[in-house]
Amino acid sequence: HDRMTECLYPHPLTSFDSDAKPEPVSEIPLIEEGRRTLEKINRTMGLAFDEWDLNYYTDLFLDQIGRNPTNVECFDIAQSNSEHCRHWFFKGRLIIDGEEMPDHLIAMIQSTLKANPNNSTIAFKDNSSAIRGYPIRTIVPTTIGSPSPFAFSDRTCDIIFTAETHNFPSGVAPFPGAETGTGGRIRDVQATGRGALVIAGTAAYCVGNLYIPEYDLPWENPKFQYPDNLATPLQIAIEASNGASDYGNKFGEPLIQGYTRSYGMRLPNGERREWIKPIMFSGGIGQMDARHTNKEKPEPQMLVTKIGGPAYRIGMGGGAASSMVQGENEAELDFNAVQRGDAEMEQKLNRVIRACVELGDQNPIVSIHDQGAGGNCNVLKEIVEPAGARIDIRAVPVGDETLSVLEIWGAEYQENNALLIRPEHAHLFDALCKREKVIYAFVGEVTGDGRVVVFDSKDNTTPVDLDLEKVLGDMPQKPFKLDRFPIRTKPLTLPENLTVKKALDRVLRLVSVGSKRFLTNKVDRCVTGLVAQQQCVGPLQLTAADVAVIAQSHFGTTGAATAIGEQPIKGLIDPAAMGRLCVGEMLTNIAWARLSAIEDIKCSGNWMWAAKLPGEGAALYDAARALTDILLELGIAIDGGKDSLSMAAIAPGEDGEETVKTPGTLVISGYVTSPDITQTVTPDLKHPDEGIILYVDLGADKHRLGGSSLAHVYEQLGNESPDVDDPALLKRAIGALQSCIAKNYIASGHDRSDGGLITTLLEMAFAGNCGIQIDLQTRANAISSLFSEELGLVFEVHPKNLMIVREIFEKVPIQTIGKVTSSPDIQISVNNQRVLKIPMPELRDLWEATSFQLERQQTNLSCVAQEETSLHARTGPKFTIPFAPMPTPPAILNASSKPAVAIVREEGSNGDREMTSAFSAAGFEPWDITTSDLLSGTIALGEQFRGVVFVGGFSYADVLDSAKGWAGVIRFNDGLRAQFDDFYNRPDTFSLGVCNGCQLMALLGWVPFPGLANTEQPRFIRNESARFESRFSTVQIQDSPAIMFKNMAGASLGVWVAHGEGRAFFPRADVLDRVIDGNLSPVRYVDDNNTATEAYPFNPNGSPHGIAGLCSLDGRHLAMMPHPERTFLKWQWGYMPANWKRDLQASPWLQIFQNAREWCEGKT
C-alpha cells in the first residue's frame, strides 16, 4: 500500500478522532545562536541551503529584519527560493576557467527572442509561452455556468506551449511522481494569462539500463548496482509511463508525442553515466483567447483565491528536495516530498477555468498561477507580488484537521491553483464552482504594502511576515565558479565481421530506436477530438510519427504542430554539437506538418544536467552558446523552458559509493501555427510499385558515428559526433520541403535520427506494410552510411511529381535512392553492392521485440503473445463503405429550429465537447447539462429534448468500477430516476452512450432490453488485457434496429477506442444468445478480413462475438464503447486510405448523427 495516504488497521475503528496533534509554530533562535542554528534546521528539514543561502538569510533576519525567523518562514524561503523554483544557476554569474561570462544563461538564450520576436505574445514571464494564433469558429454554451444550448462563437485564439520535468519524484515513487508531473504541467497550461485551454500533452522518459528479465540486451553492464532509495530503471520505465498515462486518461488530455531512452555506460574516463535519476518530461500544447493574454496586476482589495483540492500532508519540501543530488537528502524526507495526484479533481478545476475563459470579456480571473513546488508559500507570494497580501491560514480548505500551520503553508498538495478575483465577481465565481462541485476559498486580500503576512485566526499569531522584495524580488545574483574539463574519448572500434544484419539485430532492439507500442497502447490519443496527428501512423498504426498536430476547433482546419529534438549521448563527446543537433532534429521532425513559416517556430528549452558537479556547468554553458548561435542563424527563437540541475544520484560501486551523473540533456520542443492541419505528411510509404524514394543528406556525406545507437549497442561512445555544419543548408532544405508539402507533392516522409538512415527507411516500410529497394551512392562504407545519425530527410514522391520536386530542391543536395515495392522484401545496396535482403516482417519483429518485452511487464501475457504473433503477418484493415457520406447541408445547419439534444456529463466526464460538436455538425441543438443540474431541478429532461447523450470519460474517477458512481446518482435518487425512466419510455426520444456513457446505460438497464435483474444485466468490465487500451480499431456495422445506424449495415470503419473496462459481460448465456439472435449488437470489432473477432488486439477488450455496442429492441437507445464523436471528421482518423482522404466529402461516422436528426424530423 501507499504509506503516505494509506495504512493498515489491524482492529476495527471505534472513532474517527485522531490523537495526532498539529506541530506548533516555533521560533528559530538565530539571534541567540547565530548561523549554526540555521545550518541545523537546514539538515533536519532538508532545506537545501548552500553557503550563499545560509549567509544571505542569516544577514536578512539578523541585520535587516532584526528578529528570529519562524520555522514556517525558513521552510517558506527554502522552497520558494530553491534552485528548482528560482533558477539561480541560469540567472547567476558564471566564472569559467577564471573568466566571467558576459551574460547569464537566461539573457543569452533570450537574445534569440530579441532578434526574432515575430509572432510571440508571451515569453519568459508566465506559466506557458504563447504565439499568435488564428481567428476560429467554435461553440460555447450560451449561458456559461448554467444548463444552456451551445452556440457558435468567433474568437481569436493564440497557441500556448509549456514543458517541465518531474525527475526527482519519478525516481522515488514513479507512478505518483509522473502523474503529478503531468498534473502540474496541465496546470501550467491552464494558468497562462488569465486562463487558458488544455488540448494535448507530450511525454518522455529517460532511464538507466533496463535488465528486462529473460531478455538479454548485450550492451547492458551486468556489474552495475543501483541505490535502494530509488526505483529501478525498469520500474520507472513502466510505472512512470503508467502514471503519466493514467492521469491524462482520467483528466481527458491526449498524449500525442514523446521519446524514450535507456542508457548506462562506463565512459573512457572511467566515469559511469546513467539515468539512475530519471527524466520524466511533460510538455503541453493548448490555446487561449487572445483577450486574456496578459495577467492584470494585483490591486488592494482583490480577493486572493484558492481553488481545487484541499490541503493534505502530501509533498512536503519538494522544491528543495528536487534541487539536490539524489541520495544527499534523508530518504524519509525524499519520500515525503513526492506528491500524489487526483486527476478527477483537476478535471473539475479545469471546468471552472474553462467557464471563466469562455465568458470572454466577462472573464472574472484577474490573474492565475498553478500551485506546484512550495505549495501555498510559493504560489500565493507569486500571485500577489509585488503588492503583498494578508492571508488567513485557517481559510485554506484542509482535508486533514491535524495539519500544522507549516504543513498547510508548505505542502505541495495537488490539483490546486491560486487566482485573483475582484470582489464584485465573487458571486459569479461561487456559482461556477458550485456547478462543477469544486472546493474554493477566498483566503485573503491584496494589501498593497509589499508584504506577505500569514496570520492564524485560531490563535491570533503571525507565522509569516516577509517583505516580498527581500525574499522574492530582485535578489542578488549567485556566483558560480566553473572549470572546463577535457573530454576523453576513444575511436569507435566495431567487430571486423560486422554485417548490416548483425548490426540491425542490436540497433533495432534499442528502446530509443525500436517501437514505442508499450507506451502508446495504454494512453488516450484521441480525447478532445482535436488530434490531427498522434504517434501512430499507417494501416497498422506503428509508432513512427515525427510531429504531433492539433486543431484549434472542430469547425476549421487551422491548428498547431509540435515536435521534439534531443541528442544527449552526442553531448558526452561534444556538448556544443549536441545543442545544434537538438535544433536540427526538432526541425527535421516538425517540418512534416504544414507550417505558417519557419520563422514562426518558437521553442521551449528544457535542461537536465548535473550542472554544479565538476566540468558539467561549463559543458552546459557551451551547449547553450551553440544553441543560441544556431537559433540566431536560423531565425528561430526560444520563448521559455525549465531547468533541472541536480541530475545525479549516489549509487553503489565496485569500490564503495560513486556519484553517477546522467548524460547532460537538452530537450527542444518546437511549436508553430499550421494553416492547414490536413496537409501533415506521415512516414508510412503509400505507393507500392510506384513510389520513388528521395534522400536529402544534411551531413555532407560525413557519416560520423560518435554517440550513435550503433556505438551504444557495442558499449562504446566514439570520438566524433555528428553536427550541424551548415545551418543555412538546413534552412533551405526545410523551406523546400515546406513548398512541396503545401502543394501536396510529398506522399510520405521521415527524418534521419536515432538508428541512422537504415532505420528511417525501415520504419517507412514497416509503417507502410510494404517493401523497398534501395541503392545508395556514397563515399562512406555501408555501416557508416547506414547507421550514422547525421541530419537528413527521406521522402516518397509519385513519379508524376518527381521533376517538380527536384526543381524545388535545386539548391539542396538530393538523390533518388530507391523505390517502394509491393514485394515484402527489404533490399539495400550501397555503392552497387547488396548489403541486405530480408523479408520486411522479420526486421519489423526485431524493431517491435523490446517493446513487446516491456509489454510483458505490464499486460496480460496471452494478449501480448496474440498481438506479437498477429502483427508479423498482418495485411492491414479493409475498410468498406456502402453509402456516400455527405456534409450536413447549410440549410439544416443554419435552420432557426433544430432538435434539442441533452449532452449530459458527470463529475469526471471528459468527452462532452467533441460529442457536442458532432451533434452540432449534424444539425442538432446540443445542450450542456450536468447530472447535478437535473438533480437540483435547474432543468429537466422535458418535452424540449429529443435526445439524451451520456458522454465518455471517468465519472467519479471510476473508483467504484466504471460508471457505477454515475449510475448510483441516477438510480438512488427517486425523482431523478423517474425523470430518466419517463424519457426512456417516450416513443419520440433517442439516447446514445459512448464509452463511460455506454457503461452507464448498461448499468441503468437501458440496453439491451428491460426486465433483467441487477445480477443478470449485461455490463462492461475490465479489459482482457488488464489495462487501458488506446487503439484505432476496425468495427463493422451490422444489420440491427438501431436508428443511428440506418442504411449503414456492412460498413467496416476505423474508429478510436480508449477504455479500460470495455469487455461486454453477460451473466446469463441466454441473454447473450438473445442479443445475437435479435441483432442487438449493431457494431462489432473485426479483424483484417472483416470477420467479427474475439482475438486481441483487433478486439481490444475481449468482448464475446466482438461486441462493441448494444441497442434496445426498438433501436432508439444505443450504447457503444468506441468513439464515433472523435472520428466524425476525416482528419481525426488515425489512418484513412489515400483514396478515401481524396474522394470522401465527409467522414462516414458523421452519418450516425445525421441519422439521429433525420429520425427526429420523421417523428415530429
> What is the DSSP annotation of 762-785?
HHHHHHHTSEEEEEE--SS-HHHH
**All three cell numbers of 146:** 448554467
CA distance 439 to 1002: 31
**All three cell numbers of 392:** 488567513
pLDDT of residue 325: 62
The tens digit of pLDDT for each residue in 880-906 reads 999 999 999 999 999 999 999 999 999
**All three cell numbers of 337:** 516530498
Q: What is the DSSP letter of 487?
A: P
Confidence grade of residue 1009 (pLDDT, cut at 50, 70, 90)? very high
H-helix or E-strand containing 982?
A: helix 974-985
Closest residue by Cα to residue 500 from 783, 709, 841 = 783
The tens digit of pLDDT for each residue in 310-333 reads 999 887 765 555 555 666 656 666
The tens digit of pLDDT for each residue in 914-924 reads 999 999 999 99
pLDDT of residue 331: 66
Closest residue by Cα to residue 638 from 77, 22, 105 = 105
Task: Please identify which residue in the block is written with the cell numbers 467557464.
Answer: 355
Residue type, 506: R
Read off φ and ψ for residue 768, nearest 5 degrees: -85, -10
| Range 778-783, long-range pairs (CB < 8 A, 24+ positions) | 778/701, 778/703, 778/830, 778/831, 779/701, 780/701, 780/703, 781/830, 782/500, 782/830, 782/831, 782/833, 782/835, 783/494, 783/498, 783/500, 783/503, 783/710
H-helix or E-strand containing 178?
A: helix 174-190
In the set 907, 1125, 1158, 1160, the catalytic residue is 1125
What number is the average pLDDT over the span 921-933?
99
CA distance 99 to 479: 12
Residue type, 323: S
Q: Residue 990 pairs with which residues in a beta bridge?
A: 947
How many domains in the chain?
1
Given a cut of 70, whether residue 49 has pLDDT beyond it is: yes
pLDDT of residue 323: 54
**All three cell numbers of 291:** 483577450
Domain span including residue 1002: 890-1162
What number is the average pLDDT over the span 521-544?
99
Given a cut of 90, whether residue 79 has pLDDT beyond it is: no
**All three cell numbers of 598:** 519557419
What number is the average pLDDT over the span 233-241?
98
The pLDDT mean for the chain works out to 96
CA distance 517 to 260: 11
Measured in Å, how far apart are the chain's first and last C-alpha atoms?
57
Confidence grade of residue 15 (pLDDT, cut at 50, 70, 90)? confident
CA distance 1105 to 1088: 16
Q: What is the DSSP letter of 857?
A: T
Task: Please identify which residue in the block is written with the cell numbers 524526507.
Answer: 333
74 catalytic? Reply is: no
pLDDT of residue 474: 76
The answer as to whether 807 is a domain residue is: no
Confidence grade of residue 7 (pLDDT, cut at 50, 70, 90)? confident
Give 529's contacts (C-beta < 8 A, 6+ positions apart): 554, 913, 914, 917, 918, 1125, 1126, 1128, 1129, 1132
Max Cα-Cα span within the chain: 87
- List helix spans (H) across 820-893: 840-855, 861-872, 890-893
How far is the CA of 340 from the CAs of 4, 65, 331, 513, in angstroms? 9, 37, 17, 32
The answer as to whether 10 is a domain residue is: no
Scored b (16 or more CB within 10 A) or e, 724-749 reads beebebbbbbbbbbbebbeeebbbbb
H-helix or E-strand containing 787?
A: helix 782-787
DSSP line for 283-346: EEEEEEEGGG-SPPPP-TTPEEEEEESPB-S--BTHHHHTTS-BTSS-HHHHHHH-----HHHH
What's the CATH number where 951 sits? 3.40.50.880
pLDDT of residue 19: 78
CA distance 506 to 783: 13
CA distance 243 to 260: 15
The answer as to whether 333 is a domain residue is: no
Scored b (16 or more CB within 10 A) or e, 504-537 reads bebbbbbbbbbbbbbbbbbbbbbbbbbbbbbbbb
356 catalytic? Reply is: no
pLDDT of residue 327: 60
Number of H helices, E strands in the chain: 38, 46
The answer as to whether 776 is a domain residue is: no
The answer as to whether 747 is a domain residue is: no
Confidence grade of residue 86 (pLDDT, cut at 50, 70, 90)? confident
The tens digit of pLDDT for each residue in 125-157 reads 999 999 999 999 999 999 999 999 999 999 999
Task: Please identify which residue in the block is written with the cell numbers 468495427.
Answer: 1035
How far is the CA of 151 from the CAs of 142, 896, 923, 938, in angstroms? 6, 12, 12, 20
- Side-chain-side CA neighbours of residue 1147 (13 Å): 24
- Side-chain-side CA neighbours of residue 937 (13 Å): 2
CA distance 471 to 469: 6
Read off φ and ψ for residue 7, nearest 5 degrees: -150, 160
Give the CA angle between residues 669, 672, 675 to the nearest 5°.
Answer: 150
The answer as to whether 1044 is a domain residue is: yes
The answer as to whether 302 is a domain residue is: no
What number is the average pLDDT over the span 344-365?
98
CA distance 425 to 365: 9
pLDDT of residue 318: 56
1123 catalytic? Reply is: yes
The answer as to whether 983 is a domain residue is: yes
Which of 1148 and 56 is assigned the larger pLDDT? 1148
Give me the sheet containing 825-830, strands edge to edge: 748-751, 792-797, 692-697, 814-821, 771-776, 825-830, 833-839
Q: What is the DSSP letter of 961?
A: B
Q: Which H, E and C letters describe 630-662, residue by residue? A: HHHHHCCEEEEEEEECCCEEEEEECCEEEEEEC
- Note whether 560 and 660 are within 8 A (CB): no
In the set 74, 85, 863, 995, the catalytic residue is 995
Given a cut of 60, whether residue 821 has pLDDT beyond it is: yes
> Do the strands 148-165 and 1083-1085 form a parallel or antiparallel pair, or are they unpaired?
unpaired
Q: Residue 961 pairs with which residues in a beta bridge?
A: 959
Given a cut of 80, whether residue 336 has pLDDT beyond it is: no
The tens digit of pLDDT for each residue in 609-635 reads 999 999 999 999 999 999 999 999 999
In the set 292, 369, 1059, 1123, the catalytic residue is 1123
